């Protein structure tokens, strides 16, 4: 589960305003850009990790970043200003990692290159969590490639697009210095977002223009604005994807879930549909692929953690109380299991797909298919398990798992 809390709207507008004219034939430039970002974060994280281990402060407080050849003077001045405004005792969000914790490692992907600038996706990984916290690092080429800005989130994956759009959308509704509140619907501000499909914009235009008005915000499917949200990718193919957006309202611990469907546009993913009906196959897919990510991490890192029991990953939200108790008892027993009771396999698949085989009003059956890599871009599909789901308190929850074969 990738947790990304709501950020300041101004930061997201930087992404929305970026040009996307990609310069072709830039292999050498791409390598140079990646090397700049990798070099900076390798040095910065090494010092952060050392300072934390020795309790000697941080490269921020010491100002070590000012001597880095990989940062523009403008970005150094920006960081200086941020630090100058931090009051004694205040919690500091590191402007280079945009987190309070120190990543173990990062992966850098160059996502856009244009005439005098570039955009890179930096995936940051933390101990015990198989999911990355992603940031977008922007560079300019005025005096050689240098880092010029760091933005929380990313906009090159379905989950990143949803996060970027909803961060901007919710930020738009925040009161300004004078206490005035803007409305992205009445202002038609959503029309200018590259993250919405033309079909969805036309649908929203029709709702907003209707003489009957709208009973709820069509992007939130609620009348109130959530205080925070997280985004979790449910499934994706080459041309379509499904993302779960889970929002929380003040004073209510129960999340408000939205299932968001995206289509692949000419340049990037676009939001095409928003629904508050979380189908049973989405529930099963979300649980299985989250479970798979944690199991893969634990096996690679040899953590010795017990599935579900030691994770604290929130995957249990897809399980009925009885199902959760059954699996917890199995994993908490300490017995050596010949086959994983969730994945029904000894070898971990690349991912798991969900296919509805029965769908009633209060009960559904979903077949889980395991995808194993069989070649470059080629997968073998094998039946993995059959999952029973039931409507409980208005939500689809998993109530049983039967291994295939």
Domain ranges across the chain: 9-156, 183-275, 291-403
Report residue 87's pLDDT band, with 50, 70 and 90 as the boundaries: low
Out of 1-5, 230-234, 353-357, the most confident range is 353-357
For residues 10-37, give the mean pLDDT: 59
pLDDT in tens, 115-167: 889 999 999 999 999 988 899 999 999 999 999 999 887 778 899 899 989 99
Percent of the chain with pLDDT over 70: 91
The pTM of the full predicted model, rounded to 2 decimals, is 0.74
Residue 68's alpha-carbon distances to 36, 64, 76, 134, 313, in angstroms, are 11, 7, 9, 22, 37
- Indicate the range of 14-23, 84-93, 210-219 predicted with least confidence: 14-23
- Kindly tell me if the per-residue pLDDT of 9 is higher than 50: no
Task: Give the CATH number of domain 9-156; options: 3.40.50.1980, 3.30.465.10, 3.20.20.70, 3.10.450.50.
Answer: 3.10.450.50
- Kindly tell me if the per-residue pLDDT of 180 is higher than 90: no
For domain 183-275, give the fold.
Nuclear Transport Factor 2; Chain: A, (3.10.450)
pLDDT on residue 2: 36
- Kindly tell me if the per-residue pLDDT of 332 is higher than 80: yes
- Kindly tell me if the per-residue pLDDT of 318 is higher than 60: yes
- Kindly tell me if the per-residue pLDDT of 14 is higher than 70: no
User: Which CATH number describes the domain made up of 291-403?
Assistant: 3.10.450.50
- Kindly tell me if the per-residue pLDDT of 58 is higher than 60: yes
Q: Matching CATH topology for 9-156 and 291-403?
A: yes
pLDDT on residue 57: 64
């Amino acid at each position: 589960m990738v947790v990304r809390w709501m950020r300041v709207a101004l930061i997201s507008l930087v992404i929305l305003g970026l040009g996307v004219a990609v310069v072709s034939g830039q292999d050498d430039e791409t390598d140079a850009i990646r090397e700049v970002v990798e070099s900076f974060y390798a040095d910065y994280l090494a010092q952060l990790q050392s300072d934390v281990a020795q309790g000697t402060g941080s490269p921020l407080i010491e100002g070590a970043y000012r001597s880095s050849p990989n940062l523009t003077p403008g970005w150094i001045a920006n960081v200086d200003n941020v630090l100058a405004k931090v009051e004694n005792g205040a919690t500091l969000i590191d402007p280079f990692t945009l987190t309070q914790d120190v990543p173990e490692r990062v992966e850098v992907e160059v996502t856009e290159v244009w005439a005098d600038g570039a955009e890179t996706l930096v995936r940051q990984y933390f101990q015990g969590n198989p999911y990355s916290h992603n940031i977008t690092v922007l560079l300019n080429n005025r005096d050689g490639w240098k880092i010029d800005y760091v933005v929380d989130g990313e906009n090159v994956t379905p989950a990143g697009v949803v996060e970027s759009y909803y961060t901007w959308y919710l930020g738009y509704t925040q009161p300004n210095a004078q206490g005035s509140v803007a409305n992205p619907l009445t202002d038609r501000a959503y029309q200018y977002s590259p993250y919405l499909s033309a079909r969805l914009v036309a649908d929203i235009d029709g709702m907003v223009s209707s003489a009957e008005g709208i009973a709820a915000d069509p992007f939130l499917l609620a009348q109130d604005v959530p205080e925070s949200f997280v985004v979790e990718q449910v499934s994706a193919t080459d041309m379509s994807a499904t993302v779960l957006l889970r929002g929380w309202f003040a004073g209510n611990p129960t999340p408000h879930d939205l299932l968001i469907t995206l289509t692949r546009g000419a340049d990037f993913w676009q939001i095409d549909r928003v629904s508050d009906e979380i189908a049973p196959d989405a529930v099963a897919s979300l649980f299985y692929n989250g479970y798979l990510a944690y199991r893969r991490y634990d096996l690679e890192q040899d953590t010795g953690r017990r599935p579900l029991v030691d994770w604290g990953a929130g995957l249990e939200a897809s399980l009925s109380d009885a199902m959760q108790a059954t699996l917890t008892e199995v994993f908490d027993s300490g017995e050596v299991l010949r086959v994983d009771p969730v994945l029904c396999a000894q070898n971990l698949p690349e991912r798991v797909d969900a296919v509805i085989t029965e769908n009633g009003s209060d009960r559904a059956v979903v077949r889980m298919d395991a995808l194993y890599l069989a070649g470059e871009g080629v997968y073998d599909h094998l039946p993995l398990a059959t999952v029973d789901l039931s409507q409980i308190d208005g939500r689809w929850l998993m109530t049983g798992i039967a291994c295939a074969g």
